[in-house]
Structure formats: structure tokens, C-alpha cells
Amino acid sequence: MSILVVTECDNGKLKKNTAEVVSYAKAIATQQNTQLTAIAINCEKPDELGRYGADKILATRLGFDFFDAAIYADVVFQAAKHEDTQVVVLSSSANAKYMGGIIAAKLDAAYVSNVVEMPKFDTQLTVKRTAFSNKAFSYTTLQSDVCVLGLSTNAFGSVENMVTPEIIEFEPALPEQTIKQTEISQASGKASIADADVVVSAGRGLKGPENWGMIEELADVLGAATACSKPVSDMGWRPHSEHVGQTGKPVATNLYFAIGISGAIQHLAGINASKIKVVINTDPEAPFFKAADYGIVGDAFDVVPRLTEKLKALQSSAV
């Protein structure tokens, strides 16, 4: 049984999802009495993967900076062939989802995403995943020689398992590049919804786009990403990229603040993989309170600035 975990880097640095995805793959490898191999592309310090148990690392340097899904998928495919891999583990990042389908098709592999638990190996592999936008779970069996598993963000946690990895320079022949990146625009410094530990989200209760200053301030103090509900992005108050929910981005953060959001089922579907949900709403009957862990029935325009002040004071006293 051979396991391959696909690790990801941003500007040469291992992404935040690395700890979790390697820990998960390591747990499978340990259970199967085998070693864990990792593939690291354009990674400055692949040896750091040893911290979470990668025994062998295939390190590939590509001559270009951007994420070319077709070429990355081909490298992973060749790595899987090289290692005679049976289980490929991916994260749930945008890049992983971009290349995942290509990897699976090349390997003629079954591919399941939104995985939340270790697989069970019987005659076939069975794995628990979220289903229907986090409203339920499914147990799916995979019927192929090679399986590709996409691990849900924040579903498994990270486990330190320090080993000294064997690092191999892996230089497969690359296909011709058929895509170019001509521009890139990244929200500098701000956390992204996919990676943030805290997300501050607001909805129609804020009455207008001009009132978002207090949301951004609260997010700043918490080092959080900002997000919004669907109507607010449809009306153009906030960019589409902030829309979270069933038809928007999924949120699987540690702490989710929902401010002036009623909690329609489609919104909940997108955010309920979040560990702790705090709801601030004037309406005590708002459905969101049924899904929340903590709630404040109150006026956001009063509560949010006061909360921000208190958190700022806490931060400066902690320094």
C-alpha cells in the first residue's frame, strides 16, 4: 500500500493546510503499516514536511511561478506512477480542486472530496464525507485501484510526528505549457476565507455598504477574513469573492461571526463546517440562533464597535 500526499506552497512556503493534510495522510500510512511519500512542487524547504511524518519527499522545481494546474497534475500523476501509489491525498484548496479532477482522470482513479475521516479498508476503500452542503454525511466506497481523497479543511487536525525525511529531486519530463498567467491580484496582508482561523461575516442587517467599516475593523483586530451573505454580494455591497454559503465559498474556519445575517438554510449550508459560530442579530427569532454556539440579541451598530474596542484593549494589555 503506497500513500502519496500532495503538498502545496505559496511563493515557496508551505501553505497552512500542509500540517493537516500531511497528518491525515500519515495516519493512513501508519494504519497501513507503510511509509508516507509527499510530493512538494516549488517548495523552498521540503524538509519541513518531516515534522508531520513525511518519510520520503519528492521535490520538484518548475521553471515558472504560477500554478499551472495541467502541469502540476502531470507531475503528481508521474509521482504516483513512480511510487506505485494507491491512495493520493489532496487538500480542499482552490488549487487542489483545480488539479484534482485532472489527477484522478489520468490515474483512472475514483475521486472523492469533502472527506472528514480516515478511510476504512475492506475489499474496497470506504470513506465518510460531508454531503448536501454539510447537511448530512455519506459513506462512499471507491471502486478503483487508485483512489484520490480530498480532505475537508479543518476536519482532521494536525498531529506532529517528527521524522527525518529522505528527499529526492524529482524531475519528470513535463508536457508543453498551454496556459500563461498574465495578471495576478491578491488581497495583500488580509487573510483569505479559505485559510483564516476567524471569519467575520455580515449581511442585510447592516442596511448598506457604507456601514461595513465596523466589520472590517473587527476583522482587523481579530486578523480575520471578511465575508458576506448572498443578497449583499448580489446587490453589489460586497464583492462576489466574499459571498459565503451554498452557492458561494464554503467556510470551515474555527470561529465564524455572523452579523446581521438571518441564517437562511443556504447560508448555513455553506458555513456550518465552522467550529464555533457567534451570531449577532436584533431579531431573537432569527433562524441563525438555532445554529449558533453563542449569540447576542442586539443591535450590530451598538455591539460590534464595542466588541472591537474591548478586543483592542485586550490586545494592548496582553502585549
Q: Which of residues 34-53 bind other proteins (CB under 8 A)?
A: none
Binder of other proteins out of 178, 210, 285, 316 (CB under 8 A)? 178
Q: Give me the half-sphere count of Cα atoms (radius 13 Å) on the Cβ side of residue 129.
A: 19
Q: Which of residues 201-240 bind other proteins (CB under 8 A)?
A: 222, 234, 240
Binder of other proteins out of 82, 106, 204, 312 (CB under 8 A)? 106
In whole angstroms, give the CA distance from residue 46 to residue 158. 17
Cell matching residue 173: 519530463
Closest CA to 307 of 171, 202, 237, 156: 202
Q: Nearest approach, Cβ of 280 to other proteins (angstroms)?
A: 8
> Is 72 a binder of other proteins (CB under 8 A)?
no
Binder of other proteins out of 57, 142, 202, 251 (CB under 8 A)? 142
Binder of other proteins out of 194, 227, 228, 258 (CB under 8 A)? 194
Q: Is 269 within 8 Å of 245 (Cβ atoms)?
A: yes
Q: Is 234 within 8 Å of 206 (Cβ atoms)?
A: no
> Is 306 a binder of other proteins (CB under 8 A)?
yes
Q: Nearest approach, Cβ of 31 to other proteins (angstroms)?
A: 20
> Is 161 a binder of other proteins (CB under 8 A)?
no
> Residues for the chain: how many in total?
319
> Is 13 a binder of other proteins (CB under 8 A)?
no
Which range touches other proteins (CB under 8 A), out of 18-26, 33-41, 208-216, 288-296? 288-296
> Is 30 a binder of other proteins (CB under 8 A)?
no
In whole angstroms, give the CA distance from residue 88 to residue 29. 11
Closest CA to 258 of 220, 227, 299, 285: 227
Cell matching residue 150: 480530498
Which range touches other proteins (CB under 8 A), out of 41-49, 54-62, 187-195, 212-220? 187-195
In whole angstroms, give the CA distance from residue 237 to residue 203. 10
Query: Cell 497552512 identifies what position?
Result: 16
Cell matching residue 98: 483545480
Q: Of the two residues 57 and 112, which places its CB atom closer to other proteins in the complex?
A: 112
Binder of other proteins out of 28, 59, 109, 200 (CB under 8 A)? 109
Q: Nearest approach, Cβ of 67 to other proteins (angstroms)?
A: 8
> Is 111 a binder of other proteins (CB under 8 A)?
yes
> Is 26 a binder of other proteins (CB under 8 A)?
no
> Is 151 a binder of other proteins (CB under 8 A)?
no
In whole angstroms, give the CA distance from residue 133 to residue 130. 7
> Is 184 a binder of other proteins (CB under 8 A)?
yes
> Is 158 a binder of other proteins (CB under 8 A)?
no
Q: Of the two residues 3 and 125, which places its CB atom closer to other proteins in the complex?
A: 125
In whole angstroms, give the CA distance from residue 268 to residue 250. 10
Binder of other proteins out of 12, 44, 65, 105 (CB under 8 A)? 105
CA-based torsion, 216, 195, 109, 31: positive or negative: negative
Binder of other proteins out of 199, 251, 258, 292 (CB under 8 A)? 292
Query: How big is the chain by its Cα radius of gyration, in Å?
Result: 21
